[in-house]
Amino acid sequence: MSAGRLAALAVAALVLAAPAAASETRPTAAELESELVCPVCETTLDTSDAPIARRMKAFIRARIAAGDTKSEIKAKLVDQFGSTVLAVPPRKGFDWVAWILPFAGLAAGAAAVAVVAWRWSRVRREEDGPVEPLDPALERRVDDELARFE
């Protein structure tokens, strides 16, 4: 890889990493509300108007004002309500199943389609069987008929 490409890649990585770091240290209420779930109605906080959701939103705003990071605020809410308050399951332990299962299902579906297509194509070839040559008289007749249309 050339030095120019490597430098461009490094700059792109830094440009993309800066907003992510800022989001962690200075989160917005809207950002956190879209990543957390109301324990009563099981929708994200930004769409919920349940009393508990309103209290959670007030807690988030108070913690942001106190200078807490996104991870600290989420950890406090998980301690209080459990991991079901997270809209996206964590990538550890049994929660990996939620991340892996959709991809495993897609892979299994693609494999099943491939097997069915392969078997279908083999059955079609076996049904056709070997091709027998035409009777010479019939072949001459077909050639004559085709010649008339040219």
Euclidean distance between CA atoms 35 and 88, whole angstroms: 7
Spacing of C-alpha 27 from chain mean position? 25
What are the structural domains of the chain? 3-88 (1.10.8), 98-149 (no CATH)
Looking at residue 26, what is its pLDDT?
A: 84
- Count of beta carbons in the 10 Å neighbourhood of residue 31: 15
Euclidean distance between CA atoms 87 and 75, whole angstroms: 13
> Could you give the angle at the alpha carbon of 73 between the alpha carbons of 60 and 77, nearest 5°?
85
- From first to last of the 150 residues of the chain, give the pLDDT tens digit: 666 666 666 555 555 544 544 567 789 989 999 999 999 998 999 998 999 999 999 999 999 999 999 999 999 999 999 888 988 876 777 667 777 888 999 999 999 999 999 888 877 666 666 667 778 898 899 899 999 887
Q: Which residue has the tokens 């830094």?
A: 14
Dihedral sign computed on CA atoms, order 60, 64, 66, 70: positive
pTM of the model: 0.52
List own/partner pairs for 61-67 with CB under 8 A and 24 or more apart. 61/29, 64/27, 64/28, 64/29, 64/32
